[in-house]
Amino acid sequence: MEKKRVLVVDDDSLFRSSIVEVLRRKGLDVEEASNGNDALGVFSEGAFDLVVSDMKMPGMSGVELLERLRKIDGDVPMLIITAFGDIDSAVDAMKKGAKDYLQKSDRLITELEMNVDRLLELRSLVVENKRLRSAIRDQWNYVGATAEMEKIRDLSKTIAESRSTVLISGESGTGKELVARSIHHQSQRCHGPFIKINCAAMPEGLIESELFGHEKGAFTGAIKRKLGKFELASGGTLLLDEIGEMPAALQAKLLRVLQEREINKVGGDEPVLVDVRVVATTNRDLNKEVGEGRFREDLFYRLNVFHLTLPPLRERKEDIPHLVDHFIKKSNDENGFSVEGLGEGALQLLRSHDWPGNIRELENTIERAVVLTRSGLIPPPLLQAGGVVRDRTDDSSSALRPGTTVAEAEKQLILKTLESCGQNRTKAAAMLDISIRTLRNKLNEYDGKSAA
C-alpha cells in the first residue's frame, strides 16, 4: 500500500522535528518546511494527503498558507496548530477551509495522532469519491471518433445545460439510452435520480399508473397509494424509452404534463407539481407516425425541442476499433482477464459485418470472445463462435466445397482453429465447444492416419 504523504510546516525547528518524528513512526511519508513560502514550493512538487501547519509564522501565517494551498488542491485537508488561547484565529482558519485545529498542550501528541488518522481517512474518502464520480462520467462518455459522433457529443453537452425535453432516435442497439444517461450526468440534475420506463413493455392498462401513480382504492388491486415515475424522478431525469409505442389516449395526458409540469394521479383529485427533465427515445420515424395519425403532432413538437439521431454502426465502421478496445477493457476489468486486443485478421472480419444489432451486437460478440480467450489476442474464429459474424472474404482454396466429407470438414475446422490459437489446445477446445480429451483424441487420430 502506498504511504500517505504529510507536509509539516513550522518555523520552530525543534517543535517541527518532534511532529515529523511522531508522524514517521506512524509509517507516513513526511516532508517539512520552515515557512509558508518553502511549504508552497514543496507542495507544488508532489501531491500530499494532509498538511499540518503552525498558525503564527513569520512572513506568511497558517491561514494565508491555507488559502494559497487550496488554490493548488482544493480538497487537501489542513490541520492548524495554534498557541493556547488563540481561538479566534483558529475559528477563522476553520471558516476558510481548515479541517480542524489543535492547541499546544501536554496532550498535543496524543490528539495529533488521533486527528491525523481521522483526516487521512477523510482524504481517502474524498479521493475515492472523486474517482467514482470520474468513473461514472467516463461510463456515460460514449465511444466514437467520427465527425458525426463528435457533433452528437458536443451537442449533448450543450443540451445538458438546459431543462428542455430531448428526443433521441435511432435503430435498436445504437446507444440511445447511453446518450440519455450522458445528458443526465452532465447536467445540473446529475445528483438527482435517473428513472427509466419502457413504453413498449408496459401493458396499456398499467402504463398510466406507472407514469403518474395512483391513490389507494383507485381501481381493483390498488391496495395502497403508489408514486409514479414522474414523482420518483423529481429533481432528476425521466427517460421515456420507445415513446412511439405509447397509447394514443396517454399521449394527450403526457402532453399536458409537459406543458403544465404537473400530474394527476389515477384516482386523485388534486394535481401534483413535478420537477422533471424528460428525455424520450424511439426507433421509429415519428414524423411518419404523425403523418399516418399514430402519434400526436403537438406532442411530437413538444418532445422535439432538441433532436439527436444516432447513426447505425454500419455507417460508422471507423469507430469499430475504438469500440472494440473499450469493450475489451470493460470485460477485462469485470472478469479479471488480460486480453490484449484482436489477433491478425480479426478487425477485418468485424469490419466486413453489417451489424444489424448495432453496438449492442458488437459488445455481446466481444464479451463472448474475451471470456473464451481470457488472455493474449482474440483469434478470428472466436468472433464467429456464436454464429453472428461471418467471414465474407473467405473464398480461398481452403474453404469447404460441395462434396467434402463430414470427417474432412471436421478435421479442417479443428486444424484451422488450432492454428488461429497458436496451437493452444485449451483455447481451441473452448472455441470448438468440445473437451480437451475429445480434441486430443481427434489429433491423435489425424496423426495416426498421417503415419499410415
Burial of 106 (0-12, 13-18, 19+ CB in 10 A): exposed
In angstroms, the CA 165 to CA 151 distance is 19
Render pLDDT for 108-153 as a digit per residue (tens, 0 to 9).
888 888 888 888 888 888 777 766 666 655 555 566 778 888 899 8
For residue 382, what pLDDT is reported? 83
Structure-derived torsion over alpha carbons of residues 18, 24, 30, 33, reported in degrees to the nearest 10:
10
pLDDT at 416: 80
Pairing of strands 262-263, 272-273: antiparallel
* pLDDT, position 398: 46
At 180-193, the pLDDT tens digits run: 999 998 898 988 89
Helix (H, G, I), strand (E, B) or coil at 102: strand
- When the candidates are 1.10.8.60, 3.40.50.10320, 1.10.3720.10, 3.40.50.920, the CATH number that belongs to 315-451 is 1.10.8.60
β-bridge partners, 169: 282, 309
How far is Cα 144 from Cα 38, in angstroms, rounded to an integer? Answer: 46
State the pLDDT at residue 397: 42
pLDDT of residue 9: 93
DSSP one-letter code for 338: E
Predicted local confidence at residue 388, as pLDDT: 55
What is the C-alpha separation between 90 and 118, in angstroms, rounded?
Answer: 19
Contact 22, 10 (CB under 8 A): no
Distance CA 130, CA 73 (A): 13
Low-confidence ranges of the chain (pLDDT < 70): 1, 84-93, 95-97, 130-143, 385-404, 449-452
The CATH number corresponding to 5-136 among 3.30.300.20, 2.60.260.20, 3.30.1330.10, 3.40.50.2300 equals: 3.40.50.2300
- 198 and 241 in contact (C-beta within 8 Å)? yes
Q: What CA–CA distance (Å, rounded) separates 67 from 64?
A: 5
Amino acid at 228: G
Within 13 Å of residue 31, how many CA atoms lie on the same side as its CB?
20
Instruction: Supply the pLDDT for residue 145.
Output: 75
What nine digits make up the cell of 51?
A: 498538511
CATH class, range 147-311: alpha beta
pLDDT of residue 434: 82
Domains 5-136 and 147-311 share a fold: yes
Residue 191 falls in which region: left (phi positive, over 0), alpha (psi -120 to 50) or beta? alpha
Q: In what order do the strands lie in the sheet with 78-82?
A: 29-33, 5-9, 50-54, 78-82, 100-103
Side chain identity at 282, as an amino acid letter?
Answer: T
The confidence score (pLDDT) of residue 86 equals 63
Listed by start position, the domains of the chain span 5-136, 147-311, 315-451
